[in-house]
């Protein structure tokens, strides 16, 4: 019995993963990750890290983060409390969807996750206060390979669903895209 519904999204390799809940009068059980089942969705490496983030204020934006090769990482992003608008941007140099973005609402209630392949930037906006996410990463964090896009870059045209109430100085100071940005070569 499959514990996930896997839906391909408009950007190649990007997948919506919906957990199947098994429940009774005590509550529910759901699987966050299964290497065997998610291999058909494109996850082909071991989990290197699992990170947990909590964001207090509604309207906050975190991102748009990525790791450069050889530390490029796939991510499985799951909301375990509240609701977020989760965004992935294709940075792969030779991709037909280069610099296009796609967003999904992830919440504790809808059981959806986003499987983001290597070569994408990732960020989110909290649609509720006190939102919590779990991230499964396919590679360890490497500070020297860290990259970021400015979430408010007009070249990306990300339509955040609400006014941005909070953003870190680091995320807000990423440079805007220019002609020198050639993308990520995997």
Alpha helical stretches, state H, the chain: 35-38, 169-172
Q: In whole angstroms, give the CA distance from residue 44 to residue 108.
A: 25
Q: How far apart are CA 82 and CA 106, in angstroms?
A: 9
Contact residues for 150 (Cβ-Cβ < 8 A; gap 6+): 64, 171, 172, 173, 174, 175, 176, 177
Query: What is the rounded distance in angstroms from the CA atom of residue 123 to the CA atom of residue 108?
Result: 18
Catalytic (active site) residue 141: no
Q: In the structure encoding, which two tokens stand for residue 26, read together?
A: 């005590």
Q: What is the three-class DSSP state of 171?
A: helix
Say whether 137 is catalytic: no
Exactly one of 71, 102, 122, 135 is catalytic; which is it? Answer: 135
- Residue among 65, 102, 122, 174 flagged as catalytic: 65
Catalytic site positions? 65, 135
């Amino acid at each position: 019995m499959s514990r996930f519904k896997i839906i391909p999204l408009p950007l190649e390799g990007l997948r919506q993963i919906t957990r199947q809940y098994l429940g009774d009068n005590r509550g529910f059980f759901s699987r966050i990750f299964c290497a065997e089942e998610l291999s058909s969705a494109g996850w082909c490496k071991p989990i290197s890290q699992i990170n947990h983030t909590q964001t207090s204020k509604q309207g906050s934006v975190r991102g748009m983060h990525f790791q450069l090769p050889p530390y490029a990482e796939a991510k499985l992003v799951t909301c375990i409390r509240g609701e977020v608008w989760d965004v992935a941007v294709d940075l792969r140099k030779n991709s037909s969807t280069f610099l296009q973005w796609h967003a999904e609402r992830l919440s504790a209630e809808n059981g959806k996750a986003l499987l983001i392949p290597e070569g994408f930037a990732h960020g989110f906006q909290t649609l509720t206060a006190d939102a919590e996410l779990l991230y499964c990463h396919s590679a360890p964090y490497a500070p020297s390979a860290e990259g970021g896009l400015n979430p408010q870059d007009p070249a990306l045209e990300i339509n955040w669903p609400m006014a941005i109430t909070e953003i870190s100085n680091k995320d807000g100071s990423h440079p805007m895209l220019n002609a020198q940005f050639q993308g990520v070569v995997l």
